[in-house]
Amino acid sequence: MSVEPERPLPPGQYVPRGWPVLHYGPVPKFRPSTWDFRVFGDTASGEQYRWTWEEFEGLPQTKAVADFHCVTKFTIPDNLWEGISGSALVELAPPHPDVTHVMVWAEYGYSANIRMADFLAEGTMLALYRDGERLTPDHGFPVRLVVPHLYAWKSVKWARGVEYLIQDRRGFWEERGYHNVADPWREQRYSYQEDDGENPPL
Ligand SMILES: Nc1nc2c(c(=O)[nH]1)N[C@H]1C(S)=C(S)[C@@H](COP(=O)(O)O)O[C@H]1N2
Ligand SMILES: [Mo]
């Protein structure tokens, strides 16, 4: 049995039962006393920004409803995400005017690069809640990035920092054959599909 989604699905996607858990490596332990979130790299001031867990949780939060598309072809429709929007974070930590991309970093060195425009887009946020509940450890507790309009490998679980980039660089999967941009509506799955000019060297 499959559930009819309210919005059209990107090409090749289907709605599974339940919400699969997908990641590389182990689930990290959350230690609130040492946890921090950093914004670094090409900031406007040249300084880096750092929030403790308590401070980060206290930042202004927003909500957005969005579907979640994994490149392995499952789509989870209608998630209510709640957290700190990319644009709110960028206001708190201004980038150098030449910044074009961000690298979002997680525990154990997982990373994903996205264009600044995608980071600032409606719906992109550092989510703390889904459907009114805390994320579970498997799904990225305490904080995960969600970039609903890109394939979900860009939605970094266990996020710990954002690096501003004046020059684009590939993240974990982008270095391993996945598409640098990852628009599911254009089925940008693999690096061989990239157009010149949107792809730093492999
Ligand atoms: N830190 C981290 N985040 C990650 C991954 C990972 O391996 N490590 N996998 C990505 C991939 S490929 C997908 S499809 C989604 C899956 O999110 P879910 O497990 O909440 O469904 O997380 C993304 N975020
Ligand atoms: Mo994925």
Residue pLDDT, tens place only, 136-154: 999 999 999 999 999 999 9
User: Is 140 within the bounds of a domain?
Assistant: yes
| Cβ proximity of 140 and 130 under 8 Å | no
84, 125 contact by CB (below 8 A): yes
Confidence bin at 106 (pLDDT 50/70/90) = very high
In this model, does residue 121 exceed pLDDT 80? yes
Task: Say if residues 71 and 151 touch (Cβ distance below 8 Å).
Answer: yes
Quick check: is 135 in a domain? yes
Please name the residue whose Cα sits nearest to atom 23 of ligand 1. Answer: 153
Q: What is the distance between the alpha carbons of residues 159 and 103, in angstroms, rounded to a whole number?
A: 11
The ligand with the least distance to the CA atom of 112 is 1
User: Does residue 174 lie in a domain region?
Assistant: yes
Spatial contact of 70 and 78, defined as CB atoms under 8 Å apart:
no
Residue 14 inside a domain? The answer is no
Local structure of residue 55 (DSSP, 8 states): H
Q: Give one DSSP letter per residue of 110-135, joined into a string.
A: -EEEEEHHHHSSTT-EEEEEETTEEP
Mutate to test the pocket of ligand 1, among 157, 158, 175, 178 (most ligand atoms within 8 A of CB): 157
What amino acid is encoded at 7 in this protein? Answer: R
Its pTM stands at 0.96
Q: Is residue 146 part of a domain?
A: yes
> What percentage of residues in the chain have a pLDDT greater than 70?
98
Confidence band of 185 (pLDDT split at 50, 70, 90): very high
pLDDT, position 3: 59
Domain for residue 31, yes or no?
no
Q: Which atom of ligand 1 is nearest to the CA of 158?
A: 1
How many structural domains compose the chain?
Answer: 1
pLDDT at 88: 98
CB-ligand 1 contact for 106 (6 Å cutoff): yes
In a domain, 27, yes or no: no
Confidence band for 166, pLDDT divided at 50, 70 and 90: very high
Q: Is 70 in the pocket of ligand 1 (CB under 6 A)?
A: yes
State the CATH number of the domain containing residue 150: 3.90.420.10
Task: Give the model confidence (pLDDT) of 9-38 as tens digits.
Answer: 999 999 999 999 999 999 999 999 999 999
- Residue 188: give the domain boundaries: 39-193
User: What is residue 202's predicted lDDT score, i.e. its pLDDT?
Assistant: 82
Cβ–Cβ < 8 Å for 159, 179: no
Q: Does residue 167 lie in a domain region?
A: yes
Q: How far is CA 179 from the centre of its chain?
A: 15
> Which residue's CA is minimally distant from atom 22 of ligand 1?
153
Q: Is 79 exposed, middle or buried (0-12, 13-18, 19+ CB in 10 A)?
A: middle
Is the model's pLDDT at 164 over the cut of 80? yes
**Mean pLDDT (whole number) for 43-50:** 98
